[in-house]
Amino acid sequence: MTDPRPFQLTRAGVLLAPAPGFRREAGGVLNPTVYQVHGRTLMMYRAVDSIPENFSRLALAELRWEGDRLVATRLDSLALEPSEPYELLSPGPGGGCEDPRVTAIGDELYLCYTGYGGDNAPRIALARSRDGIRWERMGLARFTMHVAVGQAIDFNQVDNKDAMLFPQLIGGRYAMLHRPMFRGEIKEQYQPRQSIWISFSKDMIHWEDHQVVAEPEAQWECLKLGGGTQPVWTPEGWLMVYHGVEGERDSDPNRRYSAGAMVLDLEAPWRVVYRSPEPILTPDAAEEREGVVNNVVFPTGLWRGEDGKFLVAYGMADWCIGWARMN
């Protein structure tokens, strides 16, 4: 790719905002995944309640075109409501099913999401569906030990988020991107800044062969980076839109979440073919600058529109959902 900016995003506006008086969304709607099933385009998103604080469910909406405008209509049913030990805080109240990513593999849809509960939170959980409405839990992802810096690292004891699956097998195995959040000595000695990893599985529950895919490089992602949208096949490689964070620390009130494009090798997706030298979307709109968490664009949905071109859905300041066209 000789063009230094082969991917660009043009924001198209707010797609969904919390409904007035709707308690289930009183804390915001954010970080959606978009998938197509049986001729419908569905969006699953994180709906945050205020009682208990930050209690998150996975809600559903259907996307339709009205002229050149994309419109989201809420569905009556929920995809998931916290009910399992790994989704509920103990002692309660609180917990959540958060930040979904849906991928079609064969005739089924698979969901990766963050379970925020139990003794260790957050953790990666999975579910599956055939119609995109009713979802069957598969449980927590289980990881083999990873040997690094002269010691074994148990990923099952490491906070982890931003998981998403590839839509086909890689070398006969399922492949998943994720963002482990190391702490303490491992963080200091091995990987001080959060990065994108890949792991592989034969059954989608037990994961092995953990490898680093991408670590922070540019200034706009200097604090940390992580996966965003589920990988989509293109002739050049697996395309995804990811997030990078610029700032001194997580508690920095001036930190900024921006979006970039990344292309991974089709046969060896731990190899980066291309990544954005500069962000393709930054928090410049009013809805992105001020919200529950200021200065955030958080891409999580990538799909093809009716004209075959890519569209992106993203969280805006952890309060509402925006959409953009990829040029």
User: Would you kindly state where each structural domain of the chain is located, as residue ranges?
Assistant: 9-326
pLDDT score, position 8: 93
Taking Cα atoms as reference points, which of 117, 113, 144 lies closest to residue 126?
113
Question: CA 28, CA 268: separation in Å to the nearest integer?
Answer: 37
| 3-state secondary structure string across 298-316 | EEEEEEECCCCCEEEEEEE
Given this model, what pLDDT does residue 3 score?
65
Measure the CA–CA gap between 191 and 148, rounded to whole angstroms.
Answer: 10
- Residue among 197, 234, 223 at smallest CA distance from 7: 234
Q: Tell me whether strands 146-148 and 55-66 are parallel, antiparallel or unpaired.
A: unpaired
Q: Residue 4's pLDDT is what?
A: 62
Q: Along the chain (327 residues), what's the average pLDDT of each consecutive run of 10 residues?
A: 77 96 94 96 97 95 95 97 96 93 97 94 96 98 90 93 98 98 88 96 97 97 97 96 95 94 98 97 98 97 93 98 95
pLDDT of residue 150: 77
Q: How many helices (H) and strands (E) does the chain have?
A: 2, 24
| Token pair listed for 138 | 């598969």
The DSSP secondary structure of 88-108, one letter per residue, reads B-SSSS-BEEEEEEEEEETTE
- pLDDT at residue number 148: 81
The pLDDT assigned to 170 comes to: 97
Are 162 and 122 in contact, with CB atoms under 8 Å apart?
no
Please confirm whether the linkage preceding 122 is cis (ω < 30° from 0).
Answer: yes
Task: For the beta carbon of residue 159, count every other beta carbon within 10 angstroms.
Answer: 17
Q: Which amino acid is at 318?
A: D
What pLDDT score does 2 carry? Answer: 57
CATH of 9-326, one of 3.50.50.60, 2.30.38.10, 2.115.10.20, 1.20.140.10: 2.115.10.20
